Amino acid sequence: MAKFLVQKSGPLSGEVQISGAKNAVLPLMAASLLAEEPCEIKDVPDLRDVKVMKEILESVGSEVKDIDDGHLNIYTKEITKAEGCFELVNKMRASFLIMGPLLARTGRGKVYLPGGCTIGARPIDLHLKGFEALGAKVINEDSYVECIAPEGGLVGNSIYLDFPSVGATENIMTAAVLASGTTSIFNAAEEPEIVDLANFLNKMGARIKGAGTDHIKIEGVEHLKSARHTVIPDRIETGTFMLAAAITRGNILIKNVVPDHVMPIAAKLRESGVDVFLEEEGMRVRADDKNRKFVATDIKTLPYPGFPTDIQSPFMSYLTTVDGGSTVIETVFENRFMHVAELNRMGANIKTDGNRAFIPGSKVLEGAQVIATDLRAGAALVLAGLVAEGTTEISEIYHIERGYEKFVEKFRRLGANIFKMEE
């Protein structure tokens, strides 16, 4: 198993180019199943999850070609198998996003229950509720779910989501675009990735309005055509490098950024004393003023446009280094404090109570052997390792490589002492 070795690095500085968003490209790839013509997706990050999704699409009949770096051509003239195989689907949560397109295009979809990071329960009941509202029969077994459209095809309906689930919103959108009539999704997720998916589908000929609000309206069409689309920048990667500048008291110019997508992260960093401002080439994050105090701030995770749960753990690493105590409240996933035990191995002394964590701050962290319990927890441990005395050895780094493109390379260009060790 490979490991990361991270050593105290001093202030990071320089420029970093943000990759296309993992959480946007996977639903885009799944949505390409809806068209009988080739679709081109640009700025595709080179990630393990993307490779798994490629294999899933190929297993159902797609031809997936790499035109050049970060540029995919996906051609699904015919879906030969309306079923996601267990070995591939079990590798990541986003694999369930093929259900909507399979159901819409073939009238049937069978997907084994997906895997992914163990950050808490992420039930698919809202997805299934949406499919049922569109007229599908749902067979929910212990290991798989099968959905079957009625003889005349899916029919538009009004659907209210009990929680603004990103995955459910995406799956219902892709199922509804080929349904007859109009579908309205109320309490829909508002994330930028939803808007990106809607823009891609509209380029393919779909009729979607309201993406980015809590009410999305979809008028069904008979078929979709080919489209070209560029993936939005990864706001979670952006936030990670914003925090890399903050925790190391560095100065980083971050390129390929949509400022509105990281507004909550920027606001909380400013509250704590970090300078975040726009330049012609991107976003500058500065924490290199030696006369400035960096102080505690509280965060509470919420669905977009609130503070993103995916940045909670990296932000907590930063909070261990500021003056004063901070409180973190996690409202999205119930099991997203697994990184706390690992940070405490490094001397953070964080206390948790249910969905709350108290970070005392002003800690001098010490290098230790730690485990990346999930994708974002792994990033949090790398950030902590950059300011810890001695060497931090991080195992289970496959989690990190699922979600960050050229992770070590980008950090090393900024001056980080980070190395990948193969065993």
Render pLDDT for 124-169 as a digit per residue (tens, 0 to 9). 899 999 999 999 999 988 888 999 999 999 999 999 999 999 999 9
What radius of gyration do the chain's Cα atoms show?
22
> Cα(184)–Cα(156) distance, rounded to whole angstroms?
8
Rounded average pLDDT over 286-295: 96
From the list 292, 411, 317, 303, the residue with the least C-alpha distance to 372 is 317
For the sheet with 299-300, list strands across it.
299-300, 326-329, 356-359, 351-353
What per-residue confidence (pLDDT) applies to 86? 78
Mean pLDDT of 283-295: 96
Q: What is the mean pLDDT of residues 383-393?
A: 98
Confidence tier at 85 by pLDDT (50, 70, 90): confident
Average pLDDT, the chain: 94
pLDDT at residue 1 in the model: 83
pLDDT of 118 > 60? The answer is: no
* Kind plus residue range of the DSSP H or E element containing 408: helix 407-413
Confidence band (pLDDT; 50, 70, 90) for 330?
Answer: very high
% of residues, the chain, pLDDT over 90: 88
Q: What is the pTM of this model?
A: 0.94
Give the span between the Cα atoms of 199 and 181, in whole angstroms: 20
Active-site residue 117, yes or no? yes
Q: Which two tokens stand for residue 411?
A: 């950090």
- The residue-averaged pLDDT of 282-309 equals 96
Choose, from 39, 85, 117, 147, the residue flagged as catalytic: 117
Does domain 22-230 fall into CATH 3.30.70.2860?
Answer: no
Q: How far is CA 173 from CA 40, 323, 349, 392, in A?
A: 20, 45, 44, 43
- Which CATH superfamily groups domain 3-19+233-421? Enolpyruvate transferase domain (3.65.10.10)
Stretch(es) of the chain classified as CATH 3.65.10.10: 3-19+233-421, 22-230
pLDDT grade, residue 114 (50/70/90)? Answer: low
pLDDT digits (tens, 9 = 90+) for 2-15: 999 999 999 999 99
